Amino acid sequence: MGIYQFGQSVSRMVLSTSYKVEIIGKENIPNEGATILCCNHIHYFDPPLLGAYIKRQLHYMAKKELFEKPILKGLLPKLGAFPVRRGMSDKQAIRTAMKLLKEGHMIGLFPEGTRSKDGKVGKGLSGAGFFALRTNAIVVPCAIIGPYKSFKRLRLVYGEAIDFSELKERKASAEEATELIMSEIKQLVETHTS
């Protein structure tokens, strides 16, 4: 068992003993090929939750500051994370993500760029739309529906892949593509909140 798989097992154990985790729509994740999971962001535990219950390895951007901490700088890359400088266009992070997708890997993005303070789905940054339009990756919208409270139900929904063919055909902007992604995430939240 590799470090990533070990990390998944630990994450599953911690999450499943702390919350009533319910996973919906795992069948919507392709078994192989370039894939982008786009999810809302409500808690520090979102990244491990997003990847803990699925078979494929998930790569994701994590703020650069985390890679400056002694223990994390060696561990995070082994867990599939790569650094991104927030608040600016980080060309290195973009190149890394593009390379991973070109090689047929799966990456996880939180288009809002930061955690929502009120739990509502906010406005997404253009990065998610950029990757959706510039690659042939399958884009799967995801929704985490909390709250993260001990022994309360925590729901993770993987939606159906978003069709970008019409946006690509008319050369739509990255912003417009991100708006489509965020509207799909909002719809998942509204449909599965009870």
Q: pTM above the 0.85 mark?
A: yes
* Interval 109-135: pLDDT, tens: 999 988 888 888 999 989 999 999 999
* Three-class secondary structure of residue 188 per DSSP: helix
- Give just the sign of the alpha carbon dihedral 125, 130, 133, 139: negative
Q: Starting at the edge strand that comes first in sequence, how are the strands of the sheet with 153-158 ordered?
A: 20-24, 153-158, 138-145, 35-39, 106-109, 58-63, 81-84
Of 39, 96, 38, nearest in space to 67 by CA: 96
Burial of 136 by CB count in 10 Å (0-12 exposed, 13-18 middle, 19+ buried)?
exposed
Mean pLDDT of the chain: 93
**H or E segment at 84?**
strand 81-84
Burial of 72 by CB count in 10 Å (0-12 exposed, 13-18 middle, 19+ buried)?
middle
* Three-class secondary structure of residue 4 per DSSP: helix
Q: How far apart are CA 182 and CA 64, in angstroms?
A: 24
Residue ranges and CATH numbers for the domains of the chain are 3-192 (3.40.1130.10)
Question: Percent of the chain having pLDDT more than 90?
Answer: 78
* Interval 24-36: pLDDT, tens: 999 999 999 999 9
Task: Yes or no: say if 140 and 28 are a contact pair by the CB < 8 Å rule.
Answer: yes
pLDDT at 115: 87
* Interval 130-174: pLDDT, tens: 999 999 999 999 999 989 999 999 999 999 999 999 999 999 999
